[in-house]
Amino acid sequence: MIEQHIILEGIDVVSFYGANNTHLTMLKKLYPKLRIVARDNIIKAIGDEEELERFHNVVNRLMDHCSRYNSIDEEAIIDAVNGKKSDKGSDSNVIVYNVNGKPIYPRSENQCRLVEEFSKNDMIFAVGPAGTGKTYTAIALAVRALKNREIRKIILSRPAVEAGEKLGFLPGDMRDKIDPYLQPLYDALEDMIHGAKLKEYMDMNVIQIAPLAFMRGRTLNDAIVILDEAQNTTPQQIKMFLTRMGNNTKMVITGDLTQVDLPQNQGSGLTQALHILKDVKGISFIELNKKDIVRHKLVTRIVNAYEDYEQKLKETNKK
């Protein structure tokens, strides 16, 4: 009799074992000759060498499946045991799968362009109005790269600028103070990575979320770095951020030039960067518009209404 330990890496063990360990129970029934015990992310199996090898191969297939689709089911287990590849239909456009196993894919022409340019260039500027999926698509691309082990970490940042209101003193330690500014980034990550796994990634600094001020002095290697709400950076801040780029690193800079929350006498660093870098080789520029809005249909109407109002205001001021 041989004892073998299998470590479940890069996946959420709760999803792998199933609710009330239903998936694990099924595996035990499919391999009655083995004694299988699971604790945390380690599966211990005892039996003869040939049966253990078959079981190990099945677990590896299921780990790959769980990593890709964020879940497994009875059909996936049977396919793994029979040596078949799981067929979820054509998924050539899918970036990743969310925590419920549903596909996340580009939903507009310019989102598709963002995905394509991400594979071609190491720095991408994605600029457009609210609801166009700039940040969400960028984070999905980063999660895919992490799952595929193309990078070692994801770094997400945004300037800590209040949107037109003073929040005053915030209690708690540094993380408690900056978390309100970074919540939209957490929301996207929680949609794509199970809570326990996300916490593990963050505890190990595989995924880092930090305000822009924390980027100074760093060299960012083997990472995908996303700067969100870049319209609220100063020219000095965005220059500092862009020059943090290290080896095997991609940067995605997202922003909405219609929602600048800086003081009126302070120019946006994003506006300046778009002008200065427009002819630099290796940088892509994606301009999203109202047609790319994928939130509630009212968001498109709201954007249109504000554009009409601002246009009328400009015409009135000219007179």
Q: Beginning with the edge strand found earlier in the chain, give each strand of the sheet holding 223-227 in spatial order.
A: 207-211, 153-158, 223-227, 249-255, 123-127, 283-287
Q: Tokens for 119, please give them.
A: 């594979």
Question: 111, 131 in Cβ contact below 8 A?
Answer: no
Q: Which pLDDT value is given to residue 7?
A: 93
Q: What is the pTM of this model?
A: 0.78
pLDDT means over runs of 10, the chain (319 residues): 89 88 93 93 93 93 88 89 70 85 90 94 94 92 93 90 50 60 85 89 90 86 95 93 94 93 88 94 92 77 82 77
Query: What's the start-to-end Cα distance of the chain, in Å?
Result: 91
Tokens encoding 27: 């595996």
What was the pLDDT predicted at 312? 82
- Greatest CA separation for the chain: 91
In this prediction, residue 84 carries a pLDDT of 78
- Rounded to whole angstroms, the Cα distance separating 145 from 135 reads 15
